[in-house]
Structure 1
Amino acid sequence: MQRIANLLAVQHGQVLLLQKPRRGWYVAPGGKMELGESIYDSAIREFKEETNVTPKHVHLKGVYTMVIKDGDRVLDEWMLYTFVAHGVEGTPFEETREGKLAWHPLESLNDLPMAQGDRTNLLFAALNKGMQYGTFEYTEEFELLSENIQTSIEQ
């Protein structure tokens, strides 16, 4: 099973997002974990590679199972670990082979084109305390079929 780590940077009421060229969808920078790499190290490495900035005050905010289905048949499945950073050091790239980077108002997470599961987990990461867990099921075209979400806040 593939493991993916992404990281949403929040700073001055804005979020740093990557617009992918294929669909024009917005994502938090991230990518595949390397063998033996921790999820934390992976999220920071991928974020730095894709943005040219160093995240500050990094915390894990969500763990998700992502499933691609064709009817009842599972075509693909991976784990997504979503982190949030409160602040960054440096100046981000404007564009890389991965897409275009830009700061957006936090509220734009409600409206920018993106996978619906990404919207759910990025809004939680940016706005809520605690952790979120869940499973998102999609069609091959990334239409959301279902989501099952749980949250926890340590007392």
Structure 2
Amino acid sequence: MQRIANLLAIKDNKVLLLQKPRRGWFVAPGGKMESGESIYEAAIREFQEETNVIPHDIHLKGVFTMVIKSGDRVVDEWMLYTFVAKGVEGTPFEETREGKLAWHTIESLKTLPMAQGDRTNLVFASTKQGIQYGTFEYTQDFELISETIQMSIEQ
């Protein structure tokens, strides 16, 4: 099972998002974990490689199982670990081979084009306390079939 770590940077009530060229969807910068790497290390490494920015005050915000189905058959499955950074240092790239980077208002997470599971994940990560967990099931065309969400909030 593939493991993916991403990181949503928040600064001045805005989030740094990557617009992927294939679908034009917006995502938090991230990517595949390397062998022996912790989820924390992977999130920071992938974020820095894709943005040219150093994240600060980093916290885990979500752990998700992503399932791609064809009918009743599972054709792909991976784990996604989402972190949030409450500040950054540096100037982000404008564009890389991964896509275009830009700051967007937190409110725009509700309307920008993206996978529905990413929307659920990133809105929570940027606006709520605690950690969110869940499973998202998609068709092979990334249409959401179902989502199951849980969360924990430290008192």
Q: Same fold (TM over 0.5)?
A: yes
Q: Secondary structure at the match of 1:119?
A: helix
CA distance in 2, matches of 1:45, 1:110: 27
- Could you say which residue in structure 1 is the equivalent of 2:33? 33
In 1, Cα distance between the equivalents of 2:49 and 2:123? 23
Hey, what's the Cα distance between the residues in 1 that align with 2:10 and 2:126? 7
Q: Any idea what the Cα deviations from partners look like across 1:100-150, whole Å, max 9, x if unmatched?
A: 000001100000000000000000000000000000000000000000000
Could you say what secondary structure the match of 1:50 adopts?
helix
Which stretches of structure 1, 4 residues or more, deviate above 6 A after TM superposition? none
CA distance in 2, matches of 1:46, 1:124: 21
Pair 1:146-2:146 in alignment: yes
1:104 and 1:129 mapped to 2: Cα distance? 21
CA distance, structure 1, for counterparts of residue 103 and residue 153 of structure 2:
28
Aligned-CA RMSD value: 0.4
Distance (whole Å) between structure 2 residues aligned to residue 124 and residue 9 of structure 1: 13
Q: What 5-or-longer segments of structure 1 have no aligned partner? A: none
Distance (whole Å) between structure 2 residues aligned to residue 28 and residue 41 of structure 1 = 16
Distance 1:40 1:53 in 2: 16
- Give the CA deviation at 1:154: 1.5
- How many equivalent residue pairs? 155
Alignment match, 1:58: 58
Residue-by-residue CA offset, 1:65-123 (whole Å, 9 max, x unaligned) = 00000111000000000000001000000000000000001100000000000000000
For 1:47, the aligned partner's letter is F
Unaligned runs of 5+ in 2: none
| 1:123 aligned residue | 123
Partner of 2:113: 113
List aligned pairs for 1:1-150, cutoff 5 A.
Answer: 1-150=1-150
Identity %: 79
SS across alignment from 1:79 = strand
| Letter in structure 2 aligned against 1:153 | I
Letter in 1 for 2:128: N
Listed one character per residue, the Cα deviations across residues 4-38 of structure 1 (whole Å, up to 9, x for unaligned) are 00000011010000000000000000000000000
Which amino acid in 1 is paired with 2:117?
A: G
Q: What residue identity is the alignment partner of 1:38?
A: S
Structure-2-length-normalised TM-score: 0.99
Output the CA distance in 2 between the equivalents of 1:9 and 1:142.
25
TM-score, length-normalised on structure 1? 0.99
